[in-house]
Each structure stands twice: as structure tokens, then as C-alpha cells.
Structure 1
């Protein structure tokens, strides 16, 4: 059963990493799902309350990383709240409207269009805001990937000890 538990956990972790570049997939739920399924199939004995508190803190960090990276990216390049919302909407809609390229074009175009319509900034500033949203998105991917690796590393340490 332990081999089955590891296989399922690894598959869940792999799906979580796919979610880094395809944000429709809720990465954090797949990471935690991998822990829970492993525990259900094998045993929760090694995953005590300290493990779950540590993982809960990382989950909160992962949820905050997206929002924070987007805010910093857009604000750093002079964008407004409209640009932040446009970027977020573009991130969610882009992959469906423009498959593959929509993951990068979505947040960029969403921020640019929102800035042009709602903030009435010029084209130059709107484009800068779009670049900021893209920088924020890419920063978020790196940050979340690092945190997810830490979560999995801690899981392995707790299971192996």
C-alpha cells in the first residue's frame, strides 16, 4: 500500500506543479490532497500536528503569494486597481480564449485593457502596467514553486523520520 500511496502523492504533486503555469488548476489543493491521500492510503501517523501547522502556514503563504506578486508587479509599474483586476481576470480567462499563449497574454492584455478603459491612462502607461502584471505573474510562479518544493520536502522528511 505504501507504493500506491507514494504513486498517488507524486501524481498529485505533479498536477500541482502544472498548476503553476496553468492557474486554473488550484496547486495548493493538489499538494495538500497528496498529503491527505498518502495518509489515507498508508498512514497519518508520521504527520502529526506540527506537520499540519507548518503546512497550513505554507498554504496561507501560497494564497497570499499570488495576490501580493500581482499587486507589487502592477503597482511597481504605475498601475491602478483596475490594472490589478484586469490582470487577474486575464489570467483566468486568457488560457481559454488563447490556448497556450493565453497564460502570458491574458494577464498582460487584461491589465492593459482595464487601464485604458477604467483608469483612462495613456497607451504607454497601460502597456507598462501590462508588463508589470506579467512580471508579477512570473515572480509568483517562481515563489510558489519554491514554497511547494519546501512543502513536499517537509512531507518527505516527516514520512522518512
Structure 2
């Protein structure tokens, strides 16, 4: 059953990494789901309360990294709160309206239109904010990917050694 646990966990981890590019997939739930599936099929013995506290802290870090990267990306390029909201809405809606390319076009257009229509900053500044939203998106992918790798690394350490 341990092999089944590993296979289930790895599948969940792969889906989580797909969620980095396609943010409609809740990556953090798939990472934690991988831990839980491994435990159900193999054993929870190695996953002590310390393991779960560490993972909970990583989950908090994941949410913080995502939010911070978006804020920094938009703010660094001179955007406002409207630009941040527009970028976030575009990130969620874009992939549905324009499959594949919507993941980049959505946040860009959301930030651009929000700046142009809400804050009336002008086309040049609105374009800069749109570019900032894309920079924030890529920064978010890198930060979340690093944290997810750390989460999986801690998991592997715990289940393959005597940490638990």
C-alpha cells in the first residue's frame, strides 16, 4: 500500500504544480491532499504534530507570497488598489474567457482597465501597471513554486527518515 500512497501523493503534487500556471486549481489543497492520501494509503506514523505545524506555516507563507507578489508587482510599476483588484479579477476570469493566453492577458487587461477607468491615470501609466501585474504573476509563480518544493522536501524527509 505504500507504493499506492506514493503514487497518489505524486499525482496530487503534479496537479498542485499545474495550479501554479493555472491558478484556478488550488495548489495548496493538492499539496496537503498528497500528504493525506499518502497517510491514508501508507501511514501517518512519520507525520508528527511538528510536521503538521511546519506544513501549516508553509501554507500561511504560500498565501502571503501570492498576495505580496501581486501587490509588489502592481505597486512597483506605479499601480493603485484598483490596479491590484483589476489584476486579481483578470487572473481569475482571463483563463475562462481566453483559454491558455488568458492567464497572462487577463491580469494585464484587468490592471490596465482598472487603472484607466477607475483612477484615470492615462494610457501610459495604465500600461505600466498592466506590465507590473504580469511581473507580479511570474514572481508569484516562482515564490509559490519554491515554497511548494520546500513543503514536499519536508514531507519526503519525514516519511523516509526517523524525524517523526
Alignment of 1:1-161 (within 5 A): 1-161=1-161
* TM-score of the two chains, using structure 2 as the length reference: 0.97
Give me the whole-angstrom Cα distance separating, in 1, the residues matched to 2:66 and 2:114.
19
Give me the whole-angstrom Cα distance separating, in 2, the residues matched to 1:89 and 1:134.
13
Structure 2 runs not aligned, ≥5 long: none
Q: CA RMSD in A?
A: 0.5
Deviation at 1:81, TM superposition (A): 0.2
What SS does the corresponding residue of 2:121 show, helix, strand or coil?
A: coil
Deviation at 1:135, TM superposition (A): 0.3
What SS does the corresponding residue of 1:138 show, helix, strand or coil?
A: helix
* TM-score of the two chains, using structure 1 as the length reference: 0.99
What SS does the corresponding residue of 1:150 show, helix, strand or coil?
A: helix
